Amino acid sequence: MTPTRRRLLTTGLAAGATLGLGPVLKAPALRAQNRLNVVATTGMIADAARFILGDAGEVRALMGPGVDPHAFRQTRSDIVAMTRADLTLWHGLYLEAQMEEFLLNLARRRSVVPVADRIDPALLLSHPDYDGRFDPHVWMAPEIWSHVVASIADALQEAQPDLAPTFEARATEYRDTVAALHAYASDVLSTVPEDSRVLVTAHDAFSYFGRAYGFEVLGIQGISTESEAGLNRIRDLVDTLVTRRIGAVFVETSVSDRNMRALIEGAAARGHKVTIGGELYSDAMGEPGTYEGTYPGMIDHNVTTIARALGGTAPEKGRIGQLGAAG
Ligand SMILES: [Zn+2]
């Protein structure tokens, strides 16, 4: 039992009142004051935590659609939420660069867990522009994200040991979906002609994706969107697009497309037509309440969009026919 449980007498009751009736858990019904109150920084972490918790608690994601985690700074209401939560789950690996100091401070008094920090370093990638740190974008490779889901389940079990078996079973179910996403991605991305396996994006969020599925990845900006893309970088990429006849580039929902337009115009000035292959969810998921607003939907969308834009074959509506359908 954590020392924070008393606080739930106020926050947990309020959360229970607004949630209404959820699916019936196989575990004994929880009194409202025992419901876990969890805060997650990114939508991807929140999606797994929500699924594992079921109606045993509530998860608030601080970063919504289109929010850039490299630049995100907590608001006053975020601080209140994290201070009152039974558990705060953050990514770590310096993804939340502007929040890290706050989170490390909070960890001295509250349960605060960086869920990607426990990944075996042998699985992680470094980057020449990111001295001494690992690339944080591990959700892009479902096989690696599966380890993070296990960390999320561990943290929830520690916060609510009575429900550990239930959480364990639900985490296994979620990880099965993540494994199915990896299988789908391997399948459809292998249909892209080898010469076309080049992914040009706004920032370097796709290195794990590239390693997992055999794509060369070229970001205009580095790993963090906080770095400026220099004119030299844009000129070099225009050269690459023109000489290698790359016909499609991708914009990202959480990064400005200003640099991407410069790239397309630069190639056009040299007589090479480049189109936008689609919009990818790099560091944030889609709108809540849509399939793309879930982690499986986000990855399905990216994989399906990339395969189709680069000459491969993938079903228009994705792995389970849900892409583009509201709700
Ligand atoms: Zn990023």
How confident is the model over 274-318, as pLDDT tens digits?
999 999 999 999 999 999 999 999 999 999 999 999 999 999 999
Q: Could you give the CA distance from residue 240 to residue 235 in angstroms, rounded to a whole number?
A: 9
For residue 259, how far is its CA from the centre of ligand 1 (angstroms)?
A: 15
Pair 223, 136: CB distance under 8 Å: yes
- When mean pLDDT is compared across 42-46, 163-167, 222-226, 274-278, the lowest value belongs to 222-226
For residue 181, how far is its CA from the centre of ligand 1 (angstroms)?
A: 21
- When mean pLDDT is compared across 91-105, 123-137, 222-236, 275-289, the lowest value belongs to 222-236
- pLDDT tier for residue 4 given thresholds of 50, 70 and 90: very low
Q: Which CATH class is domain 191-309?
A: alpha beta
pLDDT in tens, 142-193: 999 999 999 999 999 999 999 999 999 999 999 999 999 999 999 999 999 9
| Res. 7: pLDDT tops 50 | no
Phi first, then psi, for residue 220 (nearest 5°) are -70, -50
**CA distances from residue 191 to 63, 94, 217, 309 in whole angstroms, order as listed:** 34, 34, 17, 12
For residue 91 the two structure tokens come to 């990514």
Of 57, 52, 64, 18, give the one whose Cα is nearest residue 293. Answer: 64
Is 312 strand, coil or helix? coil
For residue 305, how far is its CA from the centre of ligand 1 (angstroms)?
A: 19
For residue 274, how far is its CA from the centre of ligand 1 (angstroms)?
A: 23
Domain ranges of the chain: 5-185, 191-309
For residue 70, how far is its CA from the centre of ligand 1 (angstroms)?
A: 6
| Res. 217: pLDDT tops 90 | yes
- pLDDT tier for residue 268 given thresholds of 50, 70 and 90: very high
Cβ-proximal residues to 184 (8 Å cutoff; 6+ apart), any chain: 300, 303, 319
- pLDDT tier for residue 105 given thresholds of 50, 70 and 90: very high
Quote the pLDDT of residue 326: 56
pLDDT in tens, 22-31: 444 444 455 5
> Residue 129, Cβ neighbours under 10 Å: how many?
13
Residues at Cβ < 5 Å from ligand 1 ion: 205, 283
Is 288 strand, coil or helix? coil
- pLDDT tier for residue 12 given thresholds of 50, 70 and 90: very low
Quote the pLDDT of residue 116: 98
Q: What is the mean pLDDT of the chain?
A: 90
- pLDDT tier for residue 34 given thresholds of 50, 70 and 90: confident
One-letter amino acid of 88: T
Quote the pLDDT of residue 54: 97
| Res. 72: pLDDT tops 60 | yes
One-letter amino acid of 179: A
For residue 19, how far is its CA from the centre of ligand 1 (angstroms)?
A: 32
For residue 26, how far is its CA from the centre of ligand 1 (angstroms)?
A: 38
> Fold identical between 5-185 and 191-309?
yes
Quote the pLDDT of residue 127: 81
For residue 302, how far is its CA from the centre of ligand 1 (angstroms)?
A: 15
- When mean pLDDT is compared across 3-17, 225-239, 286-300, the lowest value belongs to 3-17
Backbone CA torsion sign across 226, 227, 231, 237: negative
For residue 240, how far is its CA from the centre of ligand 1 (angstroms)?
A: 22
For residue 30, how far is its CA from the centre of ligand 1 (angstroms)?
A: 38
Quote the pLDDT of residue 32: 54
- pLDDT tier for residue 131 given thresholds of 50, 70 and 90: confident
| Res. 11: pLDDT tops 50 | no
| DSSP 8-class letter at 54 | G
Q: What architecture does CATH give domain 5-185? A: 3-Layer(aba) Sandwich (3.40)
| Res. 33: pLDDT tops 70 | no
